[in-house]
Amino acid sequence: MMDQQAQYAKERRSYLVGFLLALGLSVVSFALVAAKLLPADYLLTGVFVLGFVQLLVHFRFFLHINFSKSKRDDLDLLLFSTLIIVLMAGGTLVVLFNLHHRMT
């Protein structure tokens, strides 16, 4: 078992790494849009991909979610909520855009 001091240093480093990763991803995202480095379609995809990666960084480094076995119950809760969100939000978007498409 690690002593407290070493463990503290390790956890602080983990927060710092998460902070720097998230900062980098945000800056790249804003810079892409500010400088309009890519055509609009690619730009949008880029922003969404970077946003999604940043989401994972936040979950991993700030909320300490990972795939270790002892956290399985909580992971189940998270995955179930994700399923609900995908069904409800995704379903709303699909149905309404489909209607929009049919009415034009």
Partner 1 sequence: MKPEVHVALKHPGINLGSSDRKTDVAAESPVFGFWVFLMSDAVIFALLFAVYGVMMHAVAGGPTPHDLFEIKSSFLETLILLTSSFTFGMASLTMKYSADNRRRLLGWFALTLILGVVFLAFELHDFSSMAAKGGVPQRSGFLSAFFALVSTHGLHVASGSIWLVVMMVQVVVFGVDPVVKTRIMRLGLFWHFLDIIWVGIFSVVYLQGLI
Question: Residues in the site for partner 1, rule: CB under 8 A?
Answer: 1, 4, 7-8, 11-12, 15-16, 18-19, 22-23, 26, 29-30, 33-34, 40, 43-44, 47-48, 50-51, 54-55, 58-59, 62-65, 68, 70-71, 73-74, 77-78, 81, 84-85, 88-90, 92-93, 96-97
CB of 73 to partner 1, least distance (A): 7
* Residue of 6, 7, 15, 10 whose CA lies nearest to 60: 15
Please check whether residue 43 is in contact with residue 35, taking contact to mean a CB–CB distance below 8 angstroms.
Answer: no
CB of 102 to partner 1, least distance (A): 15
CB of 96 to partner 1, least distance (A): 5
Sign, Cα dihedral of 80, 83, 87, 88: positive
Query: 77 or 102, CB closer to partner 1?
Result: 77
- The pair of structure tokens assigned to 48 is 């969404």
| Cα dihedral value 24, 29, 32, 33, nearest 10 | -150
Shortest distance, CB of residue 36 to partner 1, whole angstroms? 8
Q: Which two tokens stand for residue 8?
A: 């503290």
